[in-house]
Structure 1
Amino acid sequence: MFQRLLITLKGICMGIADVIPGVSGGTVALILGIYGRLVRAIRLIDLTLVGLMLSPAFYKRFWAHLTGQTAGSMAKEDDHAEAIVFLLFLVSGIALAILTGARIIPGLMAQYPEPMRGLFFGLILASVAVPYQMMKSRTPVHGLVFIAIAVLTFFLVGLRVDQSRFSHGTVVVQRVSAETEQTLRAQDLRFSATDPATMHKHDLSFDPSTDITMPAGTTSIEIPIVATRSGDDGNVPAGSIRYFLPSKFDATGWTVTQPAPLSGGADPPLWYLFVCGAIAICAMILPGISGAFLLLILGQYDYILFHLNQLVSTRSSVSAAVVAIFILGIIVGILSFSRVLNWMLYRLPDETMAALVGLMVGSLRILWPFQTMDTNGSHNTLPASLTDVTTLVTIGTMVAGVVIIVVLTIAGNRHAQAAGPH
């Protein structure tokens, strides 16, 4: 039973990673030593399994694996039964983490963007050593595979978020004192049509689409804004947006008004959600490529989290349909892609590991903690000051991420040596 609990805990770690844009559950599976087993288990969900499930013998073997009473058995049902038990405990942990993380992690990412990205940057940077050490040989061909995949991933994660279904418009912010020039950073500001005192975590809010500098002597300035997720509920009438949300920005002495209605918000069609689910799950089982990040690029990350939260909290039928179609896409995507990945791990193990190293190195671009924003999106920069508190905390979380992976890797190696060959 301890082994089952351990698998569930590993699933929880994967689920937490899958909620975070830029961090892959596949990376966590690789670090925790269950990546190959996961891919093989998914591959065994096939027509043969359907046939075996029609036989009472399968359920006897399933129960035996569930209770750990499998010593000496070589029944034909064993591989499939063991895979289902493994996935049952792993997916339970993943689901629990996603349902919990969907409520917590986005808030942490919004409130502490630099330290959180610093933590994940450190985690992924240190994790690069895991697939590298799994390579039995390292040739120039493997080097070319690494470079090609790293470059491709670097450009992929630099793509702009699709905001074609996000409502947009402008607000006007005013200040009492106009004595000094002041820069308003986009990542420090967020606006709402709902009073923060009564606002729920996943209620719609609006972000500036660029950093703005107010010259000395200026008391008001117009700021372009965009909704934090897709959906027609973002098309709010003029005068709706009146609140600053709590953030790093001190809004004392400031007011915000909305001179014109917002427009452009639309709910995505169900077929698009199906495709997004299939694409995201393929990324989720690839170390280095985050399914959550691809959902962000496709413009559906916050939309899916919103409806997942609505389904859990209000039992909304609309949200149930959205989540069901998305999950259907996940099922189709993972059953198809796992077969390709399993073939690669079996036939081309070193080339596959070299590609995974490239994926992880290339994905570091999106996790760099220090960023600025303009109308063309976010851009990586160097910290403005090494003595700033936020910079120091971010460097600290980055180091913490590296230390966590080093400790986990050492512990995993010692456990493997103690267990011996199987």
Structure 2
Amino acid sequence: MELKNKFMLYLKGIAMGAADAVPGVSGGTIAFISGIYEELIDSIRSFNITGLKLLKSLDFKGFWEHINGLFLIILFAGIATSILFFSRIILYCLVHYPEMLWAFFFGLIIASALVVGKKISQWNSKIIFSSIAGIFAGYYITIAVPAQTPETLSFIFFSGMIAICAMILPGISGSFILVLLSKYEYVFTAVKDFNMAVIITFGSGCVIGLLSFSHLLNWTLKRFHDLTIAMLTGLMIGSLNKVWPWKEVLKTYTNHKGQIKPLIEQNILPASYFEITGRESYVFYALALAAAGFLLVWFLEKLTIEYPDKS
């Protein structure tokens, strides 16, 4: 892999980490936009029996090549960098300028759906049905009401499996899934308090979920490429409901810091936003940032074409 390709892959990792820092936005969306999604899934899937045999025989070079190690370590280095250095900026904007931040991601996801949809080679009735099913699934997830769930280790393990699967799906946020399962604050508090039983259980669920789900995704992409892409495109379109910039809070919850956070919201028009919420709608800035998000996707696509990733 050439140096410029390594740098581009690192930047894509940074973008994925930044997206994962925002509830409702998935790093999988960025992976799809930037043209590395299928390689990422295939690389994760490579942690299989063949890989274990290579490790057992102490063939570390063969194992590294088998799992596409250079690709994974550069990408995850970018994700880690983003989470460490840029997530606070994004979370600050989420608190103080949510309208503009959500507008940016709204434009980004619209463009993403168009880019991903272009990968479908031929449209037919099955493809259309798959995309519509994806739209309804993505929309339903954004309006689902968080449920009361147990705090047993078995359910924590299950929560890790489901959340990590959502994180690698374009359009679905793993953190939002944890909110739906009423485990976002619980897991966050466990990390803060170094509750190793919960951390290890949740992490184990993430590992198992990631490895098993990546095999399923890889299989569907290989066998039913257009149907899978159509479904993922629909998921992104359906998730737009979550990132609509102007919302009215219907129900709140108190986090572990005693802060009141929105739990259930409904979309409203910018014209009535100030009257209902008392906040400025920032329509002009929101439109400008939505356009910027759209153009960023276009720019990333052009860079992907110019600098394709080469193992």
Q: Identify the TM-score tier after normalising by the shorter chain.
A: 0.7 to 0.9
Aligned to 1:98: 83
Shift of 1:55: 2.6
Whether the 8 Å contact between 1:135 and 1:350 is mirrored in structure 2 is yes
State how far apart, in whole Å, the 2-side matches of 1:412 and 1:279 are: 30
- TM, length-normalised to structure 1: 0.63
State how far apart, in whole Å, the 1-side matches of 2:302 and 2:8 are: 17
Q: 1:282 aligns with which of 165, 169, 189?
A: 165
Correspondence 1:25 to 2:40: no
Q: 2:143 aligns with which of 158, 165, 173?
A: 158
Aligned residues: 293
Where in structure 2 are the equivalents of 1:14-413 lying within 5 Å?
A: 14-56=16-58, 58-61=59-62, 78=65, 80-81=66-67, 83-101=68-86, 103-162=88-147, 164=148, 268-308=151-191, 310=192, 316-318=193-195, 320-375=196-251, 377-384=264-271, 390-413=282-305
CA-atom RMSD, angstroms?
2.7
SS of the aligned residue for 1:137 comes to coil
Is the alpha carbon distance of 1:61 and 1:46 closer, same or farther for their aligned partners in structure 2, counting shifts above 3 Å?
closer
State how far apart, in whole Å, the 1-side matches of 2:115 and 2:250 are: 36
Shift of 1:409: 1.7
Name which structure has the greater RCO, CA cutoff 8 Å, separation 6+.
Answer: 2
Give the residue type in structure 2 aligned to 1:38. Answer: L
Shift of 1:411: 2.8
Shift of 1:396: 2.2
SS of the aligned residue for 1:160 comes to coil
SS of the aligned residue for 1:21 comes to coil
SS of the aligned residue for 1:366 comes to coil
State which drifts further: 46-55 or 351-360: 46-55
Shift of 1:36: 0.7
Deviations 1:291-320 (A, max 9, x none): 122122223334444554x3xxxxx432x4
Aligned to 2:254: none
Whether the 8 Å contact between 2:35 and 2:301 is mirrored in structure 1 is no
- Greater helix share, structure number: 2
State how far apart, in whole Å, the 2-side matches of 1:121 and 1:306 are: 30
Q: Percent identity?
A: 37
Aligned to 2:256: none
Q: Which has the larger radius of gyration?
A: 1
SS of the aligned residue for 1:365 comes to coil
Whether the 8 Å contact between 1:146 and 1:355 is mirrored in structure 2 is yes
Whether the 8 Å contact between 1:386 and 1:392 is mirrored in structure 2 is no
Shift of 1:145: 0.8
Aligned to 1:232: none
State how far apart, in whole Å, the 1-side matches of 2:188 and 2:93 are: 14
Give the residue type in structure 1 aligned to 2:238. Answer: G
State how far apart, in whole Å, the 2-side matches of 1:373 and 1:60 are: 53
- TM, length-normalised to structure 2: 0.84
Shift of 1:100: 4.0
SS of the aligned residue for 1:157 comes to helix
Whether the 8 Å contact between 1:20 and 1:293 is mirrored in structure 2 is no
Q: Name segments (4+ residues, structure 1) moved above 6 Å.
A: none
Shift of 1:325: 2.3
SS of the aligned residue for 1:53 comes to helix
Whether the 8 Å contact between 2:190 and 2:198 is mirrored in structure 1 is yes
SS of the aligned residue for 2:270 comes to coil
Whether the 8 Å contact between 2:134 and 2:235 is mirrored in structure 1 is yes
Give the residue type in structure 2 aligned to 1:123. Answer: L
Shift of 1:102: 5.2
State how far apart, in whole Å, the 1-side matches of 2:152 and 2:176 are: 20
Give the residue type in structure 1 aligned to 2:206. Answer: I
State how far apart, in whole Å, the 1-side matches of 2:232 and 2:85 are: 28
Runs of at least 5 residues in structure 1 that lack an aligned partner in the other structure: 66-77, 166-266, 311-315
Give the residue type in structure 1 aligned to 2:178. Answer: L
SS of the aligned residue for 1:378 comes to strand
State how far apart, in whole Å, the 1-side matches of 2:94 and 2:187 are: 16
